[in-house]
Structure 1
Amino acid sequence: MDRVKIRPISPESLVQELADRLAAERVGQPLRVALDGAAVAAPDRLADALVDPLRVRGRPALPIRATDFLRPASLRYEFGRENPDAFYTDWLDEAGLRREVLDPAVDAGRVLPSLWNTRTDRASRAEYVDLPSGAVLLVSGSFLLGGGLPFDLTVHLVLSSGALSRRTDPADAWTLPAFARYAEEVAPATFADVVVRMDDPRHPALVEADERG
């Protein structure tokens, strides 16, 4: 088994190091980045925090929320509103995310920033956005990896099962089996390009290969 080391890092330094890495990838071309993690790991917040540092580094960035690419309620709730298996396999519209964001970012240089409004349960009616040269798409949300979505770089925000349970609102505890299934079946922490431990959001840590191993 490959050895790893855990490097504590401040939230601010994490953002700067990630921005450095993303800015150096696929220069002059669109970069499709997955920021994958449970909501309590705050992947959306990380995406927002990266926008300005990337802009300073010459890479315009566009945050894309996976929650804006969910299926209609009739499909999400077909087996009940609190079904962890459906939450895991049926909520995210992977085909829509690929069709409207990930593929056209490369093929057409324009994307649809949102597809579905879950509050109204209707199409969001968003306008297509033309991407500047070298744009970075920051797609944030849960269960983004393992399904074959064409990301160029992947970041996985991981929590121990105990930390995830403690930090999840009791009203959302029904989702925990879905994250356990994801960790077991997909094991994103074993292959993501960047893995960050987020048991305590004030004290994240990078999981890195130990060159001595």
Structure 2
Amino acid sequence: MDDVGSASSAGTREDTRTRILAAAADLLAEGGREAVSTRAVGAAAGVQAPTIYRLFGDKRGLLDALATYGITRYLSRKTEHEPGDDPVEDLRAGWDLHVGFGLANPELYALMYGDPHHGSTSPAAAAAFDILAGHIGRIARAGRLRVGEERAAQLVHAAGSGTTLVLIALPEEARDLRLSSLAREAVIAAIITDVPVPAATGPVGAAVALRAVLPETTALTPGERSLLSEWLDRIAADDAP
């Protein structure tokens, strides 16, 4: 009986938390960050201020949770798309989805990515980056990545979020979405080659490609695999133009 009561209590707590975050997200979309006061959120969610403090600590905690809530919504959209045959096209689609989400949810996006404190270390933000890293890993395994996987993922993330924030800052009638396309293709050109990397980029490309498939090898001991991984990472890091 106690277990049933505990489960019911936990479910009610989570329902209340979700209702508060949904109300906060609506207020954020309508009036920006300043509209997300504990009083306004409490009124919109039908709870008292002490409930918000108990669940989130303070307004900063509420905003942190709201950033995570926003990234979680974004992730639910990204995971709806099944991988295609071409990992580069999947990367393009992911970029466009990212920018589109930001333009459709500017205040939430600015909270998520405009302040490095918000979302940058949350589990949801890490999961979002993992999805991007997964795209990059597929490209590496296809032998089409000309730089190290980590650098490629960081570059795509930086360029994508920066482009989105720039577009958000412009009046809607002044936005030129070709900026996003140009930035996307510039990044792709910088990290991807159409020719298999061993032929196109020498030892760096070969190291990147081998590093991507190293976890699949069975001929090496764990120690040997770890040592080879370290060597390949050092070669792949020597990828400056």
TM-score, normalised with respect to structure 1: 0.27
Per residue, is there more helix in 1 or in 2?
2
Structure with max Cα Rg: 2
- How high is the TM-score relative to the length of structure 2? 0.25
With CA pairs under 8 Å and 6+ residues apart, which has the higher RCO, 1 or 2?
A: 1
